[in-house]
Amino acid sequence: MTADRYPAGHVFYRRLGRAYPRIVRGEGCWLIDADGKRYLDAAGGAFVANLGHTNPDIATALERQARQFGYVSATAFTHEPVEALAAELVATLPGDLDKLYFLSSGSEAVEAALKLARQYWVERGLPAKHRIIALAPSYHGNTLLALSASAREHYQAPFREWLVDVHRIAAPYPYRCPCRGEDSRCAVCGGAALEAAIHELGAEHVAAFTGASTPRPDYFRRIREICDRHQVLFIADEILVGAGRTGTWWAIEPYGAVPDLMTIGKGIAAGYAPMSAVAAPRRIVDVIARGSGDFLHAQTFSHHAVACAAGLAAVRHLKQHHLVERCAALAPLFARRLSALTELPHVGDVRGRGLLAGVEFVEDKATRAPFARAARFAETFVDAAQAAGLVVWPNVGHADGENGDLAMLAPPFIISEPEIDELVTRFRQALEATLGTVPVAAR
Ligand SMILES: Cc1ncc(COP(=O)(O)O)c(C=O)c1O
């Protein structure tokens, strides 16, 4: 087997004890490594490769832009790819979100959105508004402000002294909430927990509320009302769920609520270039335009021409080939095929929307008790899936911040029906292999 492993070579990898197969080419939804092994990419890597790995339109756009020019500083110049990409995206965005600030990673976009919210209040003459309220469980990125907003104890622990104090409220989580997401009077599922938190902190101190989850249909309308009542900016983090993944351009669309700021990333350039953005309305950006005149978040690679050219080609491809509609159309079949997994041992819940799904593993299906973290169930499963030629994404800490294992699926929008069947077959094989290796004591 040709695999790279630390400390051979000159790269140090995220996971230092693991061997990394070397990918040499893609083929639609598939990746092929140096040994010729084929992997069905059922997660788009990390919710990114929404158009598969060999999109010719994006390849052509990247080459064309690189031949024209590669880089100009966004402090000095603008260019066609950024102007056109912003216009294409604004046509899909909800409400008055019609200004875009482009960056590279999701963490940067979250960082920038929170800083924009803070600078807005400072320049509006309300500098005491600095507190952030965020949901738990949630993940918003790994830079320090985004990490502060993330409910990820194990990522935060070594950096605790460097993080800011973000107030956390429970996220609506039907599988684990006693009301099962069915009671609009439930403080968590109905949104009242946000109002209680604002009262506790004092509305005069609260700058922004941020979160992402799959709540009750009335949840975001209530969040919108509460934020309006207390002058709190509502930031929707659509980095993972946006760009068509759930069968609508933006996951918040069916909820009929418009956030004040939105962060987008991952799938917007389909992974052919790192690309993220903050979407904002004029009423927010104008305050800074009329005040200091400078948004205090300069980054060398913001509004990058080649990245924007990839994003433009990706968004146009999605539109021309009606792939968001395809994602919605495939959703019932995808859900039906995945629902068969609930019969398997330790599969507690299968949920999702569009071509995004989460499979929650539990120690005990009747009580919904999670595996102990020490079992590293999600990670073991993902490794077993990779061995079975299937790429899935692990998520942990869902039950209580520490325990709770999830395998997430987010195949490219071009996935075929036979490939969905193949996905399910390989998923079963991976679960069988995992149950053979997770120590019995930990189960
Ligand atoms: C909802 C959400 N926000 C922010 C981020 C951070 O994005 P990135 O890893 O590109 O910095 C992620 C990454 O998984 C995410 O899922």
pTM tops 0.95 = yes
According to DSSP, the β-strands at 97-103 and 393-396 are unpaired
Model confidence at 401: pLDDT above 90: no
State residue 266's pLDDT score: 98
From 107, 250, 261, give the residue whose CB has the most ligand 1 atoms within 8 Å, as the site to mutate: 107
Q: pLDDT > 70: what percent of the chain?
A: 98
Q: What is the dihedral of CA 436, 439, 442, 443, to 10 degrees?
A: 20
Atom of ligand 1 nearest to the CA of 238: 1
Lowest mean pLDDT, pick from 67-76, 89-98, 203-212: 203-212
Question: How far away, in angstroms, is 141 Cα from ligand 1 center?
Answer: 5
Model confidence at 174: pLDDT above 70: yes
In the chain, what are the helix, strand and coil shares in percent, each to the nearest 5?
A: 40, 20, 40
Nearest to 168 by CA among 121, 210, 117: 210
Atom of ligand 1 nearest to the CA of 106: 7
Question: How far away, in angstroms, is 238 Cα from ligand 1 center?
Answer: 9
Question: How far away, in angstroms, is 443 Cα from ligand 1 center?
Answer: 30
pLDDT digits (tens, 9 = 90+) for 272-319: 999 999 999 999 999 999 999 999 999 999 999 999 999 999 999 999
**397 — pLDDT class (breaks 50, 70, 90):** confident
Ligand 1 neighbour 393 (Cβ under 6 A): no
State residue 431's pLDDT score: 97
Question: How far away, in angstroms, is 145 Cα from ligand 1 center?
Answer: 13
Taking CA atoms, 356 is separated from 110, 153, 334, in Å, by: 21, 25, 9
pLDDT average, residue stretch 244-259: 97
How far apart CA 20 and CA 337 sit, in angstroms, is 30
State residue 443's pLDDT score: 45
Model confidence at 214: pLDDT above 90: no
CB 385 within 8 A of CB 392: yes
Question: How far away, in angstroms, is 56 Cα from ligand 1 center?
Answer: 26
How far apart CA 166 and CA 146 sit, in angstroms, is 10
State residue 213's pLDDT score: 55
Model confidence at 361: pLDDT above 60: yes
Ligand 1 neighbour 139 (Cβ under 6 A): yes
Residue 305, SS3 per DSSP: helix
Nearest to 226 by CA among 186, 190, 174, 185: 190
Residue 373, SS3 per DSSP: helix
Question: How far away, in angstroms, is 36 Cα from ligand 1 center?
Answer: 31
How far apart CA 177 and CA 221 sit, in angstroms, is 20
Atom of ligand 1 nearest to the CA of 110: 4
Lowest mean pLDDT, pick from 198-212, 251-265, 385-399: 198-212
pLDDT average, residue stretch 192-215: 88
Q: Is the dihedral of CA 105, 107, 112, 117 positive or negative?
A: positive
Atom 13 in ligand 1: residue holding the nearest Cα: 141
Atom of ligand 1 nearest to the CA of 240: 16
pLDDT average, residue stretch 114-120: 98
The average confidence (pLDDT) of the chain is 95
pLDDT digits (tens, 9 = 90+) for 423-441: 999 999 999 999 999 864 4
Let me know the angle formed at the C-alpha of 303 by 59 and 240, rounded to the nearest 5 degrees.
70
Question: How far away, in angstroms, is 408 Cα from ligand 1 center?
Answer: 14
State residue 181's pLDDT score: 87
State residue 442's pLDDT score: 46
pLDDT digits (tens, 9 = 90+) for 34-43: 999 999 999 9
pLDDT average, residue stretch 111-132: 98
Ligand 1 neighbour 356 (Cβ under 6 A): no
